[in-house]
Chains A and B, each alone.
Chain A
């Protein structure tokens, strides 16, 4: 982390950036986001396996944008989110400085977004073996069993929208759930409202989700809503040959290719 801190201090001192978004130790032994504006404060930056919040979520937050040009401490999940946000034209290369960080806290230098894209090629975005097992179990359920499973899982949701708020890809100023002319989705946290909300959210994230689990980590009820996005990731891989975030691909489901499979059209 020393090199990350050193670079962060240099960037602040030279005024190349106005703020460094990183992790610091919070309360109850949990890391939290820090917005460092003075070079003297860089020593509070930390990085460890508990740093699971996806900091890229702050890149689209108006209050943080107001602070000026940011540098962001970026482990793998944040790097993926940055590239996806860039491909969706939500951030531009000259708008931020990325301080890549390896799992053991070492600084990784990136000259530009293409270098990040290249780096990400070495890390397949796949669900891990244990998760795969769970997902396969869900997929192999009968229709009735699956309906019951999801109804029970989502019944706990009280629609605090922490999943949405923690997700770097949920940057819409007005989410579909808040559209009321017409109202697409019931606002209430009842069975139908919860089901429609989570299905809609998963659909909107298909081929965009960076599989960071920030939604699940944020959920105060520990709902496995990330199973939905992971199942979507599986589908994206199997049906569309999706391999992970890239700068050029755009959104998987809103990008037309002449060689797209069309055998589902009957």
Chain B
């Protein structure tokens, strides 16, 4: 559908929020807790914050939870009975306050989970998720969305995108049918489009390179020492992968409790040394340099080749969260200059 533009008054925002809540949907929005801001289920707009560049973790857990049951089993005299995941338990969810970079992350996630086999649980979650984006008025030095195909006001991935105007009111862009369904909950709040330009209310994020340049250089310099050198200070934790909106690697575990149990999938990371360790003890990615190269290659080479989508949205979360200052933007700029 073509994008429809409206004005939503500052004071109308919480009314809209309440209407969504009253419709029975779960709302997850940025909440400040301790030192970080993250998505959490909330009851009213007052509980949320709009003072964040990005949330510490991405919004991906709405469609790819850190621990997810795939199916259950019950053992009895007659054998083993498998219990399918009850898809009806997946709630209709509105993700409120998603940044454009985060919204862009759902496309690569979808490309991975539905690459060959349709992942029914993931797809059901995605189908029942509505993304209410909020354009960025602020950016920091870790942000690089414009270098990887995005921008602070991008509508890609959002169902509805709000941009705060100079007087505190919002430009509302309705992008999809799901966005239209949100509007339909309170059509009276959506007034005639404002005349103010959207662009003047957006953060400036300078473009440093293109994804295609990174792809070409990373492939060309696959055997270079640059990966080893960049990864020297990496301490091999999984923080970058777990805060990333597009990292989708998972581990499968069986958890048994006597005669019943479940198979679960949980987040995993290619940065962990055991990630590729074979039963024989051989590890094809034995050093952190190789694991770091894999991380960059997967996002900038393997994903575009296989899934026709890049695996980095330039949100900068990995750089902000890294305990060893493995700054992705800095490293990519170094790679592009090779």
Contact = CB atoms under 8 A, between A and B. Distances in A.
A254 B56 CA distance: 39
28 contacts: A26-B325, A27-B325, A27-B327, A27-B330, A28-B140, A28-B320, A28-B327, A33-B232, A35-B233, A53-B324, A158-B267, A159-B66, A160-B237, A160-B238, A160-B241, A166-B235, A166-B237, A188-B253, A188-B255, A188-B264, A188-B266, A189-B67, A189-B266, A218-B237, A220-B36, A220-B239, A220-B321, A221-B36
A221 B34 contact: yes
Contact of A160 (B142, B255, B269, B329): B269
Contacts of A138: none
Contacts of A165: 235-237, 323
Interface stretch (A56-64, A107-115, A202-210, A244-252): A56-64
Interface string A170-197: 0000100010000000111110010000
A217 B35 CA distance: 11
A57 B269 CA distance: 20
Contact of A33 (B56, B233, B237): B233
The 5 closest A-B pairs by CB, nearest first: A218-B323, A32-B325, A165-B237, A26-B325, A162-B237
Nearest to A62: B287
Contacts of B9: none
Interface string B306-323: 000000000000011101
A62 B273 CA distance: 11
Secondary structure type dominating chain B contacts: mixed
B324 A158 contact: no
A32 B235 CA distance: 12
Contacts of B34: 156, 221-222
B330 A158 contact: no
Contacts of B269: 160
A147 interface: no
Given A63-B231, A158-B66, A187-B251, A217 B323 contact: yes
B288 interface: yes
B323 A53 contact: yes
Contacts of A53: 323-324
B151 interface: no
Contacts of A174: 274
B156 interface: no
Contacts, number: 111
Interface in B218-243: 228, 231-233, 235-239, 241-243
A187 B232 contact: no
A119 interface: no
A63 B228 CA distance: 9
A166 B267 CA distance: 20
A161 interface: yes
Contacts of A32: 233, 324-325
Contacts of B288: 61, 63
A189 B267 contact: yes
Contacts of A156: 33-34
Chain B's interface size range is 35 or more
A219 B36 CA distance: 11
Contacts of A30: 325
B273 to A, nearest CB: 8
Of the candidates B67, B255, B323, the one having the most CB atoms from chain A within 10 angstroms of its own CB is B323
Nearest to B328: A27
Contacts of B329: 27
A164 interface: yes
Contacts of B242: 158, 160, 220
Contact of B141 (A28, A62, A186, A220): A28
B289 A63 contact: yes
Given A178-B274, A220-B321, A222-B36, A161 B237 contact: yes
B253 A161 contact: no
Contacts of A217: 323
Nearest to B273: A173
B130 to A, nearest CB: 24
B147 interface: no
Contacts of A158: 57, 66, 242, 267
B238 A161 contact: yes
A166 B322 CA distance: 11
Interface string A213-229: 00001111110000000
B209 interface: no
B272 interface: yes
B67 A162 contact: no
A242 to B, nearest CB: 27
A22 to B, nearest CB: 11
B67 A33 contact: no
Contacts of B142: 27-28
Contact of B323 (A35, A159, A162, A178): A162
Nearest to B289: A63
Contacts of A26: 325, 327
B208 to A, nearest CB: 13
Contacts of B319: 27-28
A218 B253 CA distance: 27
B272 A161 contact: yes
A63 B35 contact: no
Contacts of A34: 233
